[in-house]
Structure 1
Amino acid sequence: MRHLNPGETLQNGRYTINSILGAGGFGITYLATENPSANQLAIKTLNATVQGKPNFIDLQNQFIKEAFLLAKCSHLHVVTVHNVFHEDELWYMVMEYIKGSDLSVYLQQKGILKETDGLTIIQKIGEALIYVHSQGFLHRDIKPHNILLPPNTLEAKLIDFGIAREFTAGETRTHTNYRTDGYAPPEQYEEKAKRDTYTDVYALAATLYNILTDQVPIPAQFRAYAALPPPNQFNNQISDRVNNAILKGMELKPANRPQTIQQFLDLLLPKDDLSSDRNVDYSKLRDLLKAGNWEEADEETAKVMCQAAKCSKQGWLGEEDIDNFPCTDLRTINQLWLDYSGGKFGFSVQKEIYQRLGGTREYNTEVWQAFGDEVGWRKGGRLLSYEYITFNTSAPLGHLPNKIWNGSRREGDVCELAIWIGIVFSRVGTCKL
């Protein structure tokens, strides 16, 4: 077993060891100086404990994969690998040295981050993950300990690809047992499970949860018995949009999470695309949603939809209006609701619930009733009138928008509403929302 001491050299004197930077369950990282340039670098290898294990060869092969995977990656927010070499039966990885601390240490020293700073860091790590995923790999161990933060800057770097793996979307493979409680999604506790980009979505959302609250989320395997407290329970400065986006990213069922890192970032960081094929001005709707004026935004939604559809009848959309509703406008309205509700409200959210319950374009009483119950539009077996709709983010998933539904039916005509909803969701599907 080999342990390097200060002053020792590697590669015929090219690298001189200065000190230990850190050690984990598998590896140990040294601060070193490159000769003759005098540049400081980080050198990682397997620690003494791993060197003494009977499956050392397998673990070293895993380390080699990490090294060459990282060496292939070239991204501003992924740590750079300069060299990989073999010496005295050990493999070494030479990386850029980033002076600073990981996010877990930063939290201990500085306390929780402001929401804006937290989002800046998560966006940069998210961009790194999008790149990593494009190379055909999952990181599978996103957490504050694996994000380095240089001093006086938020230019975060993603490190430690020790359990990164190749993946094929939808394919079931055997997983290693390594994971980090609180950040690993449920599928990483299964010996065999499908892996996809939504696995890293969960961990990235859990990381944001931690850096905004200083609380490690409840481990996934215990969440069947204890509900995950919303992050704004620990920090009331967290916006509703970010609070809801984190919870959406940490859904236990992979299908209920954003499926890609970009989709998760879109929930966190609204783009405010106000495109319209009918020259409709959506700035008022955006401003109302941004301010959390949900009831006024709901009423504005009904107005702009009629403008975009050029309603055949004042105040409501007919079947022909819906079937010809411009997809650009429907996408803009839906995205604004998604962005400012953290993915909780919007036509696409309602459509997913409706279809999950078996809904189609054709009217089905049982599906309609189940849908109304789930989104909170029915109570005690009766459809609620508009005055009893809930206009805050404590409402059930998919509760809003609602006015366009209420305004498009004759008073008390529940059957007409149910038929109309099926038609609308058909159009939402056609427009690929």
Structure 2
Amino acid sequence: SYQLSVISYQLSVISYQLSVISYQLSVISYQLSVISLLLTETSSLSLFELTMSLCLNPDCLYNNDPTDKFCQKCRFQLLLKDRYRAIKLIGQGGFGKTFQAIDEDKPSKPYCVIKQFFPSAQGSNALKKAAELFKEEAISLDNLGQHPQIPSLYAYFTSNDGRQYLVQEYIEGENLEQELQSEGVFNEEKIKHLLLEILPILDFIHAKRVIHRDIKPANIIRRRSDNKIILVDFGASKFMPIANLSLTGTVIGSAGYIAPEQSNGKAINSSDLYSLGVTCIYLLTGISPFELFDVSEHEWVWRQHLINNPVSVELGKILDKLIEFGTKKRYQSAGEVLQELAVKLAFVIPPKPRSQNTIQETVLPAFPAATREEINLKSAKEIDYTNLRDFLAQEKWQEADQETANLFLKVADRTKEKYLKIEDIDNFPCEDLATINQLWLKYSQGKFGISVQKRIYESLGGSSNYDQQKWNAFGTKVGWRVNNKWLYYDQITFSLKAPWGHLPTLVWGVGGGIILFSRLETCAMDGVSSRG
């Protein structure tokens, strides 16, 4: 009986121990599920990063447990504004340190970037200027961060320790310097794509009177989620005075990429274009800008370093003009470069996304009623034109304009590249060209369409040979050029109040419009009606 009671007691002890083990296993399982959830929600966060909190004290930078509120080494408060937790030092320079961080206030614990003002400059004047530039970066991001290819500003403040901080959107991806090292030199196609994406960004910031002043591969990131180009690091950016855009200022920029006038403290819009040009020739060659320039002859020799990487004459001329030393010889605006790209490389520049600020009310003038005749939506490539038809029928002119550009790319199988080659236009199917043109003619009562634009161009003496003066006159006639300046896309009038031939803007964006007009004529000669 005694032995049975002992055995019973031992079994109860074992049962208790098993229950304890079961509880511990359930705790471990729960912890693993939490870690799994965190890893899922924070995408590429490593387990190490989830279990650390980097001290923001510039003299410490100790790695702490994420549950600690204060640094275990120096007692510095770890959570910036009780919200942002630094996990990794990702950069440091003359103005301070940059940290990758986690926003603890949001359930998904997303990444963000903390920039800490901690200048290496000495002297009161230098420190004051550095502080001003740091503040200017925050102001720039606040003004520009609404652009989808510029990081958003989350916060800017002075902490209890007296240091300035800004918190901004984290862009996950490689910068172009890293991409060059991992994938090798860029070919012409990649340079075209780069120009097509970054020039509209520069056009945007320059319109806001901001000069970036530090365009270089390391400040251009290819976002991993959508492969878009993102322009970062506005720490050197400068607001342009309205009265005088070339006032002497502080010399800011990166050696090798800085424009001559900028090195004298006189940065202007085209200074950014110069830096972009140098960026392009560096990416094409993989050679330092210093070695691409012959000091004794005072000229660029980048073509000598193209190894099995040919560049067309047309693109080469554009790059040469970007890196001209004389500001008057250089392109004056990003829009001008885009226009040159359009003319020489037959680009289709996709319209910007519709913005509430650019929506215009459609007011119908007294045009004759549109024909009731149904248009046969023929396509040699089995393209669906119902969206274009519906947009036009509903007088949604901007959507129709965007759809037209996208359809041209789709027909030519160039959607990924985002531009057309001259041969793409030369070989564009007549059936598709006629369908697009007829739809525009029908729903605009004959006011808009490629054939309308062709007639206007020819009435001004335009021919198949490109003539800049006549092309400019054509741009003025159809309302794309005002006061001797080409308009930006957000200045286009999406209304029947616009001048004849104002839409679609495909010809304006293609620049190879002359070739398109020629193709339209060829198609008509082949017996395919354009109804124009």
Check whether TM > 0.5. yes
Q: Do the aligned partners of residues 273 and 246 (structure 1) sit closer, same or farther apart at CA in structure 2, a change above 3 Å counting? A: closer
Structure 1: which 5+ runs fail to align? 275-285, 292-323, 339-433
Counterpart in the other structure of 1:374? none
Separation in 1 of the partners of 2:218 and 2:163?
Answer: 25
CA deviation after TM superposition for structure 1 residue 136, in Å? 0.8
Q: Answer whether contact 1:26 1:47 (CA < 8 A) is retained.
A: yes
Q: Write out per-residue CA displacement over residues 58-97 of structure 1, whole angstroms, 9 at most, x where no aligned residue.
A: 3112201111111111211112111112102111111111
Separation in 2 of the partners of 1:237 and 1:121?
Answer: 17
CA deviation after TM superposition for structure 1 residue 330, in Å? 7.1
Separation in 1 of the partners of 2:469 and 2:304?
Answer: 22
Q: Answer whether contact 2:462 2:470 (CA < 8 A) is retained.
A: no
Determine if the alignment matches structure 1 residue 208 to structure 2 residue 208: no
Determine if the alignment matches structure 1 residue 329 to structure 2 residue 462: yes
> What letter matches 1:208 in structure 2?
C
Secondary structure of the structure 2 residue equivalent to 1:256: coil
What aligned pairs does 1:97-108 form with structure 2 within 5 A after superposition? 97-108=170-181
Counterpart in the other structure of 1:294? none
CA deviation after TM superposition for structure 1 residue 186, in Å? 1.2
CA deviation after TM superposition for structure 1 residue 129, in Å? 0.9
Q: Answer whether contact 1:10 1:16 (CA < 8 A) is retained.
A: yes
Separation in 2 of the partners of 1:27 and 1:327?
Answer: 58
Determine if the alignment matches structure 1 residue 77 to structure 2 residue 154: no
Counterpart in the other structure of 1:176? 250
Q: Answer whether contact 1:2 1:48 (CA < 8 A) is retained.
A: no
Q: Do the aligned partners of residues 328 and 121 (structure 1) sit closer, same or farther apart at CA in structure 2, a change above 3 Å counting? A: farther
Q: Answer whether contact 2:211 2:269 (CA < 8 A) is retained.
A: yes
CA deviation after TM superposition for structure 1 residue 214, in Å? 1.1
Counterpart in the other structure of 1:146? 219
Counterpart in the other structure of 1:61? 132
Secondary structure of the structure 2 residue equivalent to 1:175: coil
Counterpart in the other structure of 1:419? none
Secondary structure of the structure 2 residue equivalent to 1:201: helix
The percent identity for this pair of structures is 24
Q: Answer whether contact 1:198 1:258 (CA < 8 A) is retained.
A: yes
Determine if the alignment matches structure 1 residue 133 to structure 2 residue 133: no
Separation in 1 of the partners of 2:189 and 2:174?
Answer: 20
- Indicate the structure (1 or 2) with the bigger Cα radius of gyration: 2
Separation in 2 of the partners of 1:331 and 1:78?
Answer: 40
What aligned pairs does 1:339-358 form with structure 2 within 5 A after superposition? none
CA deviation after TM superposition for structure 1 residue 43, in Å? 0.7
**Greater shift after overlay, 233-242 or 256-265?**
233-242
One of 246, 251, 260 as aligned partner of 2:324: 251
Separation in 2 of the partners of 1:259 and 1:247?
Answer: 14
The number of aligned residues is 292
Separation in 1 of the partners of 2:347 and 2:195?
Answer: 21
> What letter matches 2:466 in structure 1?
I
CA deviation after TM superposition for structure 1 residue 102, in Å? 1.5
One of 189, 196, 199 as aligned partner of 2:263: 189
Separation in 1 of the partners of 2:215 and 2:463?
Answer: 35
One of 181, 186, 194 as aligned partner of 1:113: 186
Secondary structure of the structure 1 residue equivalent to 2:462: helix
Counterpart in the other structure of 2:91? 22
Secondary structure of the structure 2 residue equivalent to 1:177: coil
Q: Do the aligned partners of residues 185 and 135 (structure 1) sit closer, same or farther apart at CA in structure 2, a change above 3 Å counting? A: same
Separation in 2 of the partners of 1:158 and 1:152?
Answer: 15
One of 2, 8, 13 as aligned partner of 2:82: 13
What aligned pairs does 1:290-309 form with structure 2 within 5 A after superposition? none
CA deviation after TM superposition for structure 1 residue 326, in Å? 5.2
CA deviation after TM superposition for structure 1 residue 203, in Å? 0.9
Separation in 2 of the partners of 1:11 and 1:69?
Answer: 22
Q: Do the aligned partners of residues 212 and 265 (structure 1) sit closer, same or farther apart at CA in structure 2, a change above 3 Å counting? A: farther
Q: Do the aligned partners of residues 154 and 115 (structure 1) sit closer, same or farther apart at CA in structure 2, a change above 3 Å counting? A: farther
Separation in 2 of the partners of 1:241 and 1:105?
Answer: 28
> What letter matches 2:91 in structure 1?
G
Separation in 2 of the partners of 1:144 and 1:75?
Answer: 20
Structure 2: which 5+ runs fail to align? 1-55, 65-76, 349-420, 427-456, 472-532
Determine if the alignment matches structure 1 residue 46 to structure 2 residue 46: no
Q: Answer whether contact 1:241 1:267 (CA < 8 A) is retained.
A: no
Separation in 1 of the partners of 2:274 and 2:80?
Answer: 41
CA deviation after TM superposition for structure 1 residue 335, in Å? 5.4
Separation in 1 of the partners of 2:84 and 2:208?
Answer: 30
> What letter matches 2:135 in structure 1?
I
Separation in 2 of the partners of 1:247 and 1:184?
Answer: 16
Secondary structure of the structure 2 residue equivalent to 1:17: strand
CA deviation after TM superposition for structure 1 residue 273, in Å? 9.3
Separation in 1 of the partners of 2:300 and 2:81?
Answer: 53
Q: Answer whether contact 2:199 2:335 (CA < 8 A) is retained.
A: yes
Q: Answer whether contact 1:273 1:332 (CA < 8 A) is retained.
A: no
> What letter matches 2:134 in structure 1?
F
Q: Write out per-residue CA displacement over residues 246-279 of structure 1, whole angstroms, 9 at most, x where no aligned residue.
A: 01111111111111011122333447499xxxxx
Q: Answer whether contact 2:294 2:301 (CA < 8 A) is retained.
A: no
CA deviation after TM superposition for structure 1 residue 218, in Å? 3.8
Determine if the alignment matches structure 1 residue 31 to structure 2 residue 100: yes
Separation in 2 of the partners of 1:115 and 1:220?
Answer: 18
Counterpart in the other structure of 2:232? 159
CA deviation after TM superposition for structure 1 residue 28, in Å? 1.6
CA deviation after TM superposition for structure 1 residue 131, in Å? 0.7
Separation in 2 of the partners of 1:21 and 1:163?
Answer: 18
